[in-house]
A = this chain, B = another copy of it.
Amino acid sequence: MSFGTIYGVGLGPGDPDLMSVRADRLVRGAKHVAFFRKAGRKGQSRQIVEGMLADNVIEIPMEYPVTTEIPLEDPRYNEALSAFYSDCENQLFALLESGEDVIVLCEGDPFFYGSFMHLFTRLKDKAPLEVVPAITGMSGAWTATGSPITWGDDVLTVLAGTLSEYDLTKRMAETDALVVMKIGRNIDKIRRALKTAGKYDDAWLVEYATMANQSVNKLSEVEDGITPYFAIIIVHGQGRRP
């Protein structure tokens, strides 16, 4: 019996019509579909493929033990997640070992800040593995703003909102085009950093890019302090153009 293959399949920013032809084919033909989700939720990646899965598909939800209950700096956060990813590894490895292929559904692009990467490092030397790149959430977001993100020599910087205010401010000030991800409860810090860096008035907040509930607003016009996880901040480059 030969090993099954594990596929890390990027689904793109959310609109199923923006999945790649290859991802679409793999998802529709899948026998085993695994995906991460927050406990008690349907799961964003699972939501994207709603209506596409075969009738007899076997679903393998992998539920995060913690998301924001424990601060990132707390060593227990890393311990809990590490044990969780090992459990997922073992569960999927048993399937692969029995000769079954497994499709892992990934929001955005699997190799760009994706949870799949933690399965990838654990399984890549143990079983055949294939990664299908996808449209990133940030591509979906800048397309939603209706303006190009980078021109000519523009430098693009992608920042996680979890960085310190000092780091955010410094890097925001030095770049031409900017993307900020992982916003959530970091939004007030991010607003302050953008103001200090002189980019607040040019910042756009895109929520649920390419999805039915997509919203695009100047960040300065959004009063509400809390944004969901599916939010991306965009500042467009203004580089050379003929």
Task: Name A's B-contacting residues (CB within 8 A).
Answer: 12-13, 16-22, 24, 72, 77-79, 81-82, 84-85, 109-114, 117-118, 120-121, 124, 131-136, 139-140, 142-143, 146-160, 162-163, 167, 171, 174-175, 210, 240-242
A-B contacts, 14 of them at CB < 8 A, read A18-B133, A20-B21, A20-B135, A111-B142, A111-B143, A124-B146, A134-B139, A135-B135, A153-B160, A155-B157, A155-B160, A155-B163, A157-B157, A157-B158
Q: Is the CB of B158 within 8 A of A155?
A: yes
Q: Which of B18, B72, B78, B171 contacts A155 (CB 8 A)?
A: B171
Q: Which residues of the other chain, B, contact A167 by a CB distance below 8 angstroms?
A: 155
Interface SS majority for chain A: mixed
Q: Is the CB of B153 within 8 A of A163?
A: yes
Q: Which of B13, B112, B156 contacts A149 (CB 8 A)?
A: B112
The 3 closest A-B pairs by CB, nearest first: A81-B242, A156-B158, A82-B242
Q: Is the CB of B158 within 8 A of A139?
A: no
Q: Is the CB of B148 within 8 A of A158?
A: no
Q: Is the CB of B153 within 8 A of A111?
A: no
Q: Is the CB of A111 within 8 A of B131?
A: no
Apart from A110-B143, A135-B135, 7 more pairs, CB < 8 Å: A17-B21, A18-B22, A77-B242, A78-B242, A118-B242, A153-B160, A157-B157
Instruction: Please measure, in the bound complex, the distance between the C-alpha atom of A210 and the C-alpha atom of B147, giving whole angstroms.
Output: 27
Instruction: Please measure, in the bound complex, the distance between the C-alpha atom of A224 and the C-alpha atom of B86, giving whole angstroms.
Output: 43
Q: Is the CB of B163 within 8 A of A139?
A: no
Instruction: Please measure, in the bound complex, the distance between the C-alpha atom of A226 and the C-alpha atom of B232, giving whole angstroms.
Output: 37
Nearest chain B CB to A78 CB, angstrom units? 5
Q: Which residues of the other chain, B, contact A139 by a CB distance below 8 angstroms?
A: 109, 111-112, 133-134, 136
Instruction: Please measure, in the bound complex, the distance between the C-alpha atom of A143 and the C-alpha atom of B132, giving whole angstroms.
Output: 8
Nearest chain B CB to A177 CB, angstrom units? 8
Q: Is the CB of A133 within 8 A of B241?
A: no
Q: Which residues of the other chain, B, contact A142 by a CB distance below 8 angstroms?
A: 111-112, 133
Q: Is the CB of B117 within 8 A of A151?
A: yes
Q: Which residues of the other chain, B, contact A21 by a CB distance below 8 angstroms?
A: 16-21, 24
